[in-house]
Chains A and B, each alone.
Chain A
Amino acid sequence: GQNIDQPTEMTATEGAIVQINCTYQTSGFNGLFWYQQHAGEAPTFLSYNVLDGLEEKGRFSSFLSRSKGYSYLLLKELQMKDSASYLCAVRSNTGFQKLVFGTGTRLLVSP
């Protein structure tokens, strides 16, 4: 089976740093993606990890540990516009390209 777990909701203050965790159990692994989704809008791609370690992209960083089935998304210097849902998705290695998504973490950034 496949299972992706993320916290349902998090709150943080403008200018702060927040870490959103994701744990997964999947049949095979071929990459982990993070997407941002504002209410009523399309998910937008943030980051991709397939090897262990940290990938940094501006204010956003993503970390992966394959042995632990664990990833996190780190958001620095939070802005009000960062209030959104953050979706963790895993791609299996079955040869097909489908993504298995967690339920998403709703982040609320307050002034």
Chain B
Amino acid sequence: NAGVMQNPRHLVRRRGQEARLRCSPMKGHSHVYWYRQLPEEGLKFMVYLQKENIIDESGMPKERFSAEFPKEGPSILRIQQVVRGDSAAYFCASSPPGGGSNQPQHFGDGTRLSIL
């Protein structure tokens, strides 16, 4: 799974600060997905992006959270004014363009966000 690169692996922020999580998809992949995993819970879908477009953001909280996937560079998940409840593991996944429905999403190692 080294193909999907996420950084940082661990991020510590104080309440009220901003957190920026980065994801570079596997080579040749143009679809990016962000998921959040709370302790003892399953992965929860947040947002699905293609280059320069947000396709589905139905899982994103309405406030403080935003995501982008620019033409150049990694996808960014941005959390403003973080609160304790934002502490979680954030996983990015990618899949090939236009791909058949049997194309799995490949996951990165995640960013563990801790809010002090």
Contact = CB atoms under 8 A, between A and B. Distances in A.
A100 B104 contact: no
B104 A48 contact: yes
Given A35-B107, A96-B48, 15 more contacts: A33-B104, A41-B109, A43-B91, A44-B1, A45-B104, A50-B101, A50-B102, A89-B43, A96-B56, A97-B31, A97-B105, A98-B48, A99-B43, A99-B105, A101-B42
Nearest to A35: B107
Interface in B58-116: 58-59, 91, 95, 101-102, 104-110
A89 B33 CA distance: 14
A89 B4 CA distance: 19
A100 B91 contact: no
Contacts, number: 64
A87 B43 contact: yes
Interface of A: 4, 30-31, 33, 35, 41-45, 48, 50, 87, 89, 91, 96-104
Interface of B: 1, 4, 31, 33, 35, 40-45, 48, 55-56, 58-59, 91, 95, 101-102, 104-110
A98 to B, nearest CB: 4
A90 to B, nearest CB: 11
A30 B101 CA distance: 8
A6 to B, nearest CB: 9
